[in-house]
């Protein structure tokens, strides 16, 4: 699978609720941020958890979100961020 995003690209996390072993936390679904780095490619945990191969490898990104974009009533400083590792198939261009 080709790498689709570069550092700095704006992305949005898919707002979806599939069943199973999903490593995309609920709180970050539907939120927008920017690519912090490409982490590499890894076997898909959503398949691995059920004793399947997890192939092909999926690109994994660290995505940086502004806390104020994640929590509308965030009490900290406006520049505060949260970084989350998210697989490419959970990301779309924003």
Partner 1 sequence: MSNAPGDHEHGHAHDHGHEHGHRHPPQADHDDRLTYYKVMEIAVRELLIEKGHITADEVRAAIEAMDARSPATGAKVVARAWTDPAFKTHLLADGTAACRSMGIDMGPTRLVVVENTPEVHNMVVCTLCSCYPRFLLGLPPLWYKSRAYRSRAVREPRVVLSEFGTHLADNVTVRVHDSTADMRYLVLPMRPAGTDGMDEAALAALVSRDSMIGVSLPRRP
Are the C-beta atoms of residues 60 and 45 closer than 8 Å to each other? no
For partner 1, the closer of residues 51 and 79 by Cβ is 79
Exposure class string for 39-64: b at 16+ Cβ within 10 A, else e: eeeeebbbeeeeeeebeeebbbbebb
Q: Are 75 and 49 in contact (CB under 8 A)?
A: no
Residue 62 or 92: the one with the smaller Cβ distance to partner 1 is: 62
Q: Which of residues 12-31 bind partner 1 (CB under 8 A)?
A: 23-25, 27-28
Q: Is 62 in the site for partner 1 (CB under 8 A)?
A: yes
Q: Residue numbers of the site for partner 1 (CB under 8 A)? A: 23-25, 27-28, 39-40, 42, 45, 60, 62, 67, 70-71, 75-77, 79-87
């Amino acid at each position: 699978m080709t790498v689709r995003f570069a550092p700095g690209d704006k992305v949005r996390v898919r707002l979806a609720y599939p069943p199973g072993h999903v490593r995309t936390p609920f709180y970050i679904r539907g939120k927008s941020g920017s690519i912090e780095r490409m982490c590499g490619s890894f076997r898909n945990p959503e398949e691995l958890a059920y004793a399947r191969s997890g192939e092909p490898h999926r690109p994994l990104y660290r995505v940086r979100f502004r806390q104020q974009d994640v929590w509308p009533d965030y009490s900290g400083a406006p520049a505060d961020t949260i970084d989350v590792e998210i697989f490419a198939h959970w990301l779309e261009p924003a």
